Amino acid sequence: MAPLRKTAPIGVFDSGLGGLTVFKTLARRMPEESLVYFGDTAHVPYGSKSPEAVTRYSVAVARFLAAKGIKLLVVACNTSSAVALPAIRRAVEVPVVGVIEPGARAALSVTHGGRIGVIGTEATMSSGAYPRALGALGARVKTVSQACPLFVPLVEEGWWRGRVTETVARRYLAPLRRARVDTLILGCTHYPYLKPVLARVMGARVRLIDSAEETALQTESALEKIGLRASSGRRGRRDFYASDAPERFRRLARRMLGYAVPQVKLHAFDS
């Protein structure tokens, strides 16, 4: 393996567009870093797939990004972070940062009653990744988990608000409201786009936690530790890939990022 370069990009991937929340935060915090994003739009959503399928897709994307010469990989997908992180780390020879631990740390920093709700895909909730992460951090909290499988398709369709989205949210979040959680981890990087609806349903007393900021901080720290932070005073490149429908990705990415994405390149994988 060739030595990693400071000017090499950071790789970021998700099953679709949700990981753009992490991408956007990385770009804001570290504008000098080059970023390459991959949305596996051919296989979205990962959350309803088997762990074996998620691992297969995740490893394929990780290897593709590693071949692009990245210096660090951010797995901006809770499902992949929950079920495929060990396989991803074995598959590539660069540091790998997931989103589960940063989200757990952020929740512990703000909970005042120790009642933490977690919402995510079926695969993430079935994995028990968040309760394990909270326990590994030495936390004595009560965790209430709820799978919300329709949220990812709603976000991918751009349905972030409206009656349908709020009706679905009220149905999913009812058990968490009954449990009186004081903190809610948005255990999927698609979910921050639903924040206005989720905040309205849960009420003002509940803190909503998305892991984008904490993941960016952990990425920054990891690069500092291995001496691979890019030099300041430059603006890094921004490159985008999708495994299907790149023009649709480009159209929705503009709405999600707040600026136009000049090009999204297609790279398809065998299913």
**Which residues are catalytic, by number?**
77, 188
Tokens 């679709």 map to which residue?
16
Local structure of 224: helix, strand or coil:
helix
Amino acid at 69: G
> How far apart are the C-alpha atoms of 21 and 189, rounded to whole Å?
6
Angle (CA) 93-61-105 rounded to 5° is 70
> Three-state SS string across 113-171, please?
CCEEEEEECHHHHHHCHHHHHHHHCCCCCEEEEEECCCHHHHHHCCCCCCHHHHHHHHH
